[in-house]
Structure 1
Amino acid sequence: MAPPTETLTAERILEATEEVLRRHGPAKATVVDVARALGVSHGSVYRHFRTKAALREAVTKRWLDRTSEKLAGIVGAAGTPEQRLRAWLAALFAAKRHKAGDDPELFATYMVLTDENGTAVGEHVADLTGQLTRIIAQGAGSGAFSVPDPAAAARAVFQATGRFHDPCYAREWTAPGVDEEFTAVVDLLVRGLSSPSP
């Protein structure tokens, strides 16, 4: 139980919710369980999150935002656009693989929650493709990439690498040879972006 003098914040509620989900799974976890873990009434939780659905969406968004935040630093980092693109794609693959491998129960829970929360997932994908767009646009501006529409190219790169970040492929992320396959796909994409326009 949380000490009574500690202020109840949305962040504390989300941390507790994640732990409750890890313990009970999405089907059995309740707002009452979260409140009990915090040592408060369920009404206190509802003052921050009006519904159970809002709480579940917020915890899903928080989980997805962790990946986005890690990747955002690569967009403006030093290096050529090609180096940043490669680093960004590798970091995305590593982040997704890390989540799936280190805590498979929580990963499975979040797969249920992301199915429920299309808005959070859509915003996450838009953020990720926006980051890719900035890298590709920088490459187009410097002449490293030859693409007429960086946003379209970013969406294509994101889709082409789906096997290495879409959770439906999580079982394949530890298969022998997957790292070599990832590198081959990225090499192909970089060559395509770097090719002169016809």
Structure 2
Amino acid sequence: MAPTETLTAERILATTEDVLRRHGAAKATVVDVARALGVSHAAVYRHFRTKAALREAVTKRWLDRTTAELKLVVEDRSIPADERLRGWFTALFAAKRKKAGDDPELFATYEVLLGENSDVVEEHIADLVGHLRLIVEEGVARGELVAPVADPELTARAVFDATGRFHDPCYSREWFKPGIDEAFTAVVELTLAALRP
């Protein structure tokens, strides 16, 4: 890229993702990012004070893409809550599997970064559980769902945990095995059955 192009945080993050893809988390440096941008490493540090801050920001950006896709499902109140839940889980599994399958080098790099940035991961999980809580609360209010426990947060967390095999990166090797789609459908249907009146 030409060094005359305006250096923005977004441009740095996109380039960092490319550098991580090429070098991996262990070898990628801020100097590599700066070199790819055609700027000094000091210019990168003006946007991100430390290498850790840059890695945290790129991890958050990666996770936020999934959250944004799922938010569209959450906000579609034209369909019943159980269908929204099914659609949400289907979109989550598809997004996670796509990331793992389409770009395995970058996915492996992000597994390392996720381990480094537990606060970012916890925030991401809180967002996802918040999506489920909203769908469950609205479903209960509309008489479409029942909550097995009185606390909607606990219900949402239980539903999230029950489906962990299909979104937790530690299970990513299983996502491409024969029978995984049938297993996914079975778990989602059992989960929905527990929530229907």
1:85-96 aligned at under 5 Å gives the runs 85-96=85-96
How big is the shift at 1:58?
0.3
Distance in 1 (CA, whole Å) between partners of 2:154 and 2:47 is 39
Give % identity: 66
Q: Out of 142, 164, 167, which is 1:165 matched to?
A: 167
- Provide TM-score, normalisation by structure 1: 0.96
Shift of residue 4, structure 1, vs aligned partner? 2.9
**Deviation, structure 1 residue 13:** 0.2
Is the contact between residue 12 and residue 37 of structure 2 (CA under 8 Å) also seen in structure 1?
yes
- Partner deviation per Cα, 1:93-112 (whole Å, 9 max, x = no partner): 00000000000000000000
Unaligned runs of 5+ in 1: none
Q: What corresponds to 1:14 in structure 2? A: 13
Structure 1 residues 84-143: Cα deviation after superposition (integer angstroms, max 9, x where no partner) = 000000000000000000000000000000000001000000000001110111101011
The match for 1:187 is: 189
2:129 paired with 1:129: yes
Q: How many residues align?
A: 194
Where do 5+ consecutive residues of structure 2 fail to align? none
Alignment partner of 1:176: what SS?
coil
**Most deviating of 91-100 and 3-12:** 3-12
- Structure 1 residue 149: deviation in Å? 2.3
Matched, 1:44 2:43: yes
Asked whether the 8 Å contact 1:140–1:150 carries over to 2, the reply is no
4+ residue segments displaced more than 6 Å: none
Q: Is the 8 A contact 2:74 2:84 kept in 1?
A: yes
Matching residue of 1:5: 4
For 1:151 and 1:89, locate their aligned partners in 2 and report how far apart those are by CA, in whole Å.
17
